[in-house]
Amino acid sequence: MKSIEIDRSKQLRDEPETGHNRWHPDITPLLEVEEGEEVVLETRDALDGQFKDSTTPEDFANIEVGLIHPLTGPVFVKGAEPGDLLETEFVEIRPVKFAWTAIIPGFGFLRDRDDIAPFFVPWTLENNFATSPALPGVRIPGAPFMGMTGISPSHAQVAEWKIREDRVIEAGGVALPPDAEGAVPAEGSAASAGLRTLPPREVGGNFDVKQLTKGSKLLLPVAVDGALFSTGDGHFAQGDGEVCVSAVEMGATAVVRFKVLKGEAKRHNINRPRFTRDDYWADPQIAMPRRFTATMGMPIRPDGENEGENLTLACRDAVLGMIDLLGERGWTREQAYVICSVAVDLRISNVVDVPNFVVSALLPEDIFV
């Protein structure tokens, strides 16, 4: 069985032969594997080890954003070529013992709120639960998955996607342009022009889809020969939405197996990721909590005015309602926001009853012990 092993006491820039943190087709593959061969990939956490058990919010000012996200790979899959679909089966995802969640200024769904302060939660992962002194009485069940999985874009896609993300920035939105600061590889076109890893794109990336647990199969349209597969950003658990921008973040070991579906992407014009599975994505009590409390959000501003069919506003309304609900139970707004990010699921309940779409935020009650 082939593998890429890492030393988690070192950052990726100190072991550049183990991975990368930009997307670009010029990055040299580290392994070449046959279709059907199992591959073991050891991965670092999303911030490349910058957070420790002793981290405090005062340390957030020293975060090196350029180090996000360290990926293990690329892996060259023999036989994969443009027009194919690469099927990746997650055979195993093994957590390390330490994880973290953080509310970091400038990031997250509620990053514009001044009533939520920076906050850090160190987790201990034992017996398939995450616990932390920062959230006493909370026990988060594990359902490990890889937050980031992708294959390489083509040169044409790199150029096209940079232009469209530049337009987002020009329109006042948020996107991270190419930046060589902290890049691995540190030189060449991958450093100067490589796409940042924060958003997912058509060939994969930072999905943060919590249903991609052991046994799931991810389908990605191949853009370059060999597909050039990489993964990282392990999550022990997460609420659908990951609203504070971090889940229960961990290093992990992923075991994957590949299958090449020849010509399927071209034949069926598949240009977006898909995924499948044949059983529950987690223990049914996690996948379908038997006891929960929910808040409903609608596209209604605090001043009572409608922003009809604004799904983002409905999501915010549901999350803020859940933070208020948890506040009624004695949790601080920071603790409540973290609980929302790691355990509360955002569900689109309807998008037809105009003007007020409904988003429900579901809080599983069994996390409280």
Query: At 235, which CATH number?
Result: 2.60.120.580
Per-residue DSSP letter, 351? S
In the chain, how many domains are there?
A: 2
The answer on 358 and 221 residing in a single domain is no
Cα–Cα nearest to 66, from 100, 105, 22? 22
Residue 285 clears pLDDT 90, i.e. is over it: no
Domain boundary (262, 285, 308) is at 285
The answer on 305 and 173 residing in a single domain is no
- How many CA atoms lie within 13 Å of 295's alpha carbon, on the beta-carbon side? 18
The answer on 127 and 246 residing in a single domain is yes
Q: What's the pLDDT score for residue 332?
A: 98
Give the residue-averaged pLDDT of 279-304: 94
The answer on 222 and 347 residing in a single domain is no
pLDDT digits (tens, 9 = 90+) for 155-175: 999 999 999 999 999 999 999
Expressed as residue numbers, the domain containing 232 is 2-285
Q: What's the pLDDT score for residue 286?
A: 87
Token digits of residue 77: 């899959």
Instruction: Grade residue 330 by pLDDT with cuts at 50, 70 and 90.
Output: very high
Beta carbons within 8 Å of 277's beta carbon, 6+ residues apart: 211, 215, 216, 217
Axis crossing angle, helix 311-328 with helix 333-343, rounded to the nearest 10: 120
Give the residue-averaged pLDDT of 339-355: 97
What whole-number distance in Å separates Cα of residue 3 and Cα of residue 80? 19
pLDDT digits (tens, 9 = 90+) for 223-243: 999 999 999 999 999 999 999
- Which amino acid is located at 28 in the chain? T
The answer on 327 and 183 residing in a single domain is no
Q: What's the pLDDT score for residue 350?
A: 97
Residue 317 clears pLDDT 90, i.e. is over it: yes
Region label for 211, one of left (φ > 0), alpha (ψ between -120 and 50) or beta (otherwise): alpha
pLDDT digits (tens, 9 = 90+) for 65-81: 999 999 999 999 999 99
Token digits of residue 132: 């932390």
pLDDT digits (tens, 9 = 90+) for 102-151: 999 999 999 999 999 999 999 999 999 999 999 999 999 999 999 999 99
Q: Pairing between strand 249-261 and 38-43? A: antiparallel
What whole-number distance in Å separates Cα of residue 347 and Cα of residue 358? 9
The answer on 317 and 274 residing in a single domain is no
What whole-number distance in Å separates Cα of residue 203 and Cα of residue 268? 16
